[in-house]
Structures are given as structure tokens and as C-alpha cells.
Amino acid sequence: MKKLPLIFFILLIAFGCKPTSDKNYNTDIEQGTSTNQQEKINNFAIIIHGGAGTILKKNMSDEKEAEYAAKLEEAIKVGYTILKNGGTSQEAVMKTIQIMEESPLFNAGKGAVFTNEGSNELDASFMDGKTLNAGAVAGVTNVKSPIELAIKVMTDSDHVMLSGKGASIFAEEKGLEIVDPSYFFTERRFQSLQRIKDREKMELDHDDKTAAFYDADIKNAKFGTVGCVALDKNGNIAAGTSTGGMTNKRWGRIGDAPIIGSGTYANNKTCGVSSTGWGEYFIRNQVAYDISAQMEYKKIALKEATKDVIQNKLTALGGTGGVVALDKNGNMSFEFNTAGMYRASMNDKGELLVKIYKE
Ligand code: ASP
């Protein structure tokens, strides 16, 4: 009988004190890490998304899946290399997002979705976690890289957000690359607009049966924003987001992506966040800022904060989408309430994670 406490003690040592280094990198990001927030787990790190939505394996060909994965990997490795070589998180975020803006796969830059009038109106924002400085643009139609313009607004103007014509004039004055609006055209996104318009017409005609066939397809076509959060070797966090918004948007609709606190937020004291999803809900929930505020005021871990904001608060209002986030110690989190989110991360050991679906 006397031996019982001793056996119990040995068992406790054997199973209770598992070293954290045993933990799997992938599992940490997907399910959250219990790592103490005060402990630096990455000297630098980078996390990206290429949009969240009804992304299901059954609707995706192997070729398309490989194309998305390859582009996510190409983009994140650009940012990773900058950080590894001692570059700033600002540069890493910009260059990484530019790769995705230039790819027709994503709803940002080339490949942006169409407005109701058949044009492409681009939104983007950027925030620097060290200075809490920020820049944003909305409704831009002829600037090749909206994320670069958002950063220029931050660095070269007295303002935080510029829109439409004025934003284009500013871009020209600052020597940014101007393109013909047709540069953003892709047949795939144009057809998505036609399908949504057909669907709207069916609603007017009360043709419910045929309309139902269109719905899954339309849900898929709506999203695809890109975003990036990076932590550099100097401990500076930067976050950026770039998008074409939502297909069939009208009346100069602006979503969450260019709104600091909704689509993008960064603060060296807490974390950086980039959002994607149904923008109106992200604006109403101040999703990106709320994650940072919960960490600051409630002293909770990054994963706990992203989980609460997406799975509880956003979901309760009926919003759909997700975030990628990274804290000052290099903890990272993907959190979404949709079927999938194009996403990738890399830590300072060069470990890469690329994922599309929930599991
Ligand atoms: N959040 C974007 C918007 O509402 C769309 C998206 O992320 O897919 O404009």
C-alpha cells in the first residue's frame, strides 16, 4: 500500500510533463498551441490566406488544387526569404501579396471579381504594428498593385484611406504602375458575374427550381481575397489584405478589406490579423481589432482570441469567413467557419504548411 503514492508520482512524471518540443508544428497552428504567450517560439514567421468560402474537395480537380497549393507556396516563400535575410515585415507582406495579386487564381489584382456594372474595383489595406500607422485604398480601378498603393498612402500621405479617382491620381503622382482596367479581366470571374445575374433574374421570375442549381456554384465564386501577416527579426508585425470585394457589388460598395480594424490590424504588443469572408459582417464585428483587443485586455492567447471572434461572435451574427493571425512571439493561427480557406504558413525553421480544406 505504501508504494502506491510512489507509483502515482512516477506515472505523473512519465505522462504529465511532455516537453513542448514534442509538439507537432501543424497541429499547433490548426488546433492552437498551449505555448505560454510570453515564450518566443519563432524569431520570425509568416502566414497567408487566399480567401475562405465553400471550398470543397469534391468541387476541385487535382490540377486546380495543385495550382493553388503551388501559388500559395511560391508567395509565402518570397516573404519567408525576405524575413530570413533580415528584411522588414512590411516588405515581406507587400511582396508576398503582390505574387497573389498577379495571379488570376485569387480575387485580388488580376483575377478580381466583377461589380454589377462589369468593372473591377479593388480594395486593400496595410498596417504597421510598431507605429500603428496604416494605409488603405478603396474602389481603385487602374493601379496594378493595390497593396503597394495602400502602403504608399501610409508612408507618403497624411491620410489613412483614399478612394476611387483620388486614389488613382495619388498613385500616378507617386509613380506607381498604372494599368488599363482590362488588365484585371479574367473570363472565369466574368462568367461568375453572369451566373449571379442569371440567378437574380430567376428570383424575379420566381423560377425557384432552376435557381437552386446555381446556388452552390455562386457561393464558390464569391470569395478569394488575399492577405498576409509577418513578424520580422526585429519583432515588428505587419499585416495586409487585398481584394476585388464581392461579385456583383454595386453602388460603390466597400467591404472590410480596406477598413483598418476589420480586414487588417497589427500591433506589436499583441498580434497581426488579415481577414477574408463576408465583409459586411467583418465590419460590424471589427474582427481584426477585436482579436488584438481580446489579447490585450483579457490577456488571452492568440488562438483563444481568434476562435472566440470567428466561431462565437462572427458566427452568431451569421457571418462567414476566416482570419490568419500571428502574435508577437511567433504563434500562428488559422481560424475560419467556412468549408475551406486557402492558407499557408512558415516558421523560422523553414517548416511550411499549405492547406485548403478544413482537415
Ligand atoms: N472580405 C471581402 C469583402 O467583403 C471578400 C472576401 O474576403 O472574399 O469585400
| Burial annotation 224-256 (CB, 10 A radius, 16+ → b, else e) | bbbbbbbbbeebbbbbbbbbbbbbbbeeebbbb
Task: Decide whether any atom of ligand 1 lies within 6 Å of the 266 Cβ.
Answer: no
pLDDT in tens, 127-147: 999 999 999 999 999 999 999
In the structure, what pLDDT confidence band is assigned to residue 1 with cuts at 50, 70 and 90? Answer: very low
The residue written with cell numbers 503582390 in the block is: 98
| Per-residue pLDDT at 21 exceeds 60 | no
Least-confidence region, from 44-53, 194-203, 247-256, 316-325: 194-203
Give distance in angstroms: CA of 303 to centre of ligand 1: 22
- CA dist 318 and 8 (Å) reads 49
Residue 327 or 209, more confident: 327
Residue from 101, 249, 274, 276 to probe ligand 1 pocket by mutation (most atoms less than 8 Å from CB): 276
What is the separation of C-alpha 134 from the centre of its chain, rounded to a whole number of angstroms?
17
Counting from 1 in the atom list of ligand 1, the atom nearest the Cα of 278 is 4
pLDDT bracket for residue 296 (50, 70, 90): very high
Q: For the chain, which residues make up each domain, given as ranges?
A: 45-357
Averaged pLDDT of the chain: 89
Clarify whether 225 is annotated catalytic.
Answer: yes
For residue 57, CA distances in Å to 54, 60, 339, 356, 359 come to 10, 5, 9, 9, 11
- Ligand 1 within 6 A of 279 CB? yes
What is the 218 CA–ligand 1 centroid distance (Å)?
14
Say if ligand 1 is within 6 A of residue 267 CB: no
C-alpha 349/C-alpha 171 separation (Å) is 38
The rounded Å distance from CA 278 to ligand 1 centre is: 5
Q: Per-residue pLDDT averaged across 32-51, rounded?
A: 81
CB of residue 244 inside a 6 A radius of ligand 1: no
State whether the beta carbon of 268 lies less than 6 angstroms from ligand 1.
no
- Check pocket membership of 224 for ligand 1, CB cut-off 6 A: yes
Q: Give the confidence band of 7 by pLDDT, cuts at 50, 70, 90.
A: low
Residue 146 CA to residue 220 CA, distance in Å, equals 24
Asked whether residue 4 carries a pLDDT value surpassing 90, the answer given is no
Q: Residue of the nearest CA to atom 7 in ligand 1? A: 276
243 lines ligand 1 (CB under 6 A): yes
Q: Transcribe 99-153 into DSSP letters.
A: HHHTSTTSSSSTTPPPBTTS---EEEEEEETTTTEEEEEEEESSBS-HHHHHHHH
Q: At residue 14, does pLDDT exceed 50? A: no
Report pLDDT for 17.
36
Architecture of domain 45-357: 4-Layer Sandwich (3.60)
**How confident is the model over 30-39, as a mean pLDDT?**
58
Greater model confidence, 33 or 98: 98
Q: What is the mean pLDDT of residues 254-275?
A: 98
Mutate to test the pocket of ligand 1, among 115, 220, 243, 286 (most ligand atoms within 8 A of CB): 243
Radius of gyration of the chain (CA): 21
Best residue among 55, 140, 225, 226 to mutate for probing ligand 1, ranked by most atoms within 8 Å of CB: 225
297-330 b/e with 16+ CB inside 10 Å = b?
eeeebbbbbbbbbbeebbeeeebbbbbbbbbbbb
Q: Give the active site residue among 54, 96, 225, 306.
A: 225
Coil, helix or strand for 2? Answer: coil
Angle between helices 62-84 and 89-101 (to 10 degrees): 160
CA distance linking residue 232 with residue 235, whole number of Å: 5
CA of 155 to the centre of ligand 1 (A): 25
Angle, CA of 276, 282 and 284, to the nearest 5°:
170
Is residue 298 predicted with pLDDT exceeding 80? yes
Please report, as a single letter, which amino acid is at residue 77: K
pLDDT tens column, 51-81: 998 888 888 899 999 999 999 999 999 999 9
The CB of 247 under 6 Å from ligand 1? The reply is: no
Return the pLDDT at 160: 98
pTM over 0.95: no
Kindly tell me if the per-residue pLDDT of 112 is higher than 70.
yes
Name, in order, each residue with C-beta under 8 angstroms of 293's C-beta and a sequence gap of 6 or more: none
Residue 270: per-residue pLDDT: 98
What lies within 8 Å, CB to CB, of 69 at 6+ separation is 354, 356
Q: Is 181 helix (H, G, I), strand (E, B) or coil?
A: helix
Residue 341: phi, psi to the nearest 5?
A: -155, 125
Q: Could you read off the pLDDT of 102-111 as tens digits, one per residue?
A: 999 999 999 9
% of the chain at pLDDT higher than 70: 84
Helices of type H across the chain? 4-16, 25-31, 62-84, 89-101, 146-156, 164-173, 187-205, 208-222, 279-285, 287-298, 302-307, 315-317
Q: Could you read off the pLDDT of 251-262 as tens digits, one per residue?
A: 999 999 999 999
Q: In testing the pocket of ligand 1, which one of 219, 256, 260 has its CB within 8 Å of the most ligand atoms?
A: 256
- Residue 215: pLDDT band (50, 70, 90) is low
139 lines ligand 1 (CB under 6 A): no
Ligand 1: nearest atom to the Cα of 321: 7
- Cell, residue 86: 533580415
Residue 321 three-state SS: strand
Q: Whose CA is nearest to atom 8 of ligand 1?
A: 223
CA angle 341, 79, 104 (to 5 degrees): 50
Please report how many Cα atoms fall inside a 13 Å half-sphere around the Cα of residue 82, on the Cβ side.
20
Q: Please give the grid coordinates belonging to residue 224.
A: 478569394
Q: Which phi-psi region, left, alpha or beta, contains residue 75 (left: φ > 0; alpha: ψ -120 to 50)? A: alpha
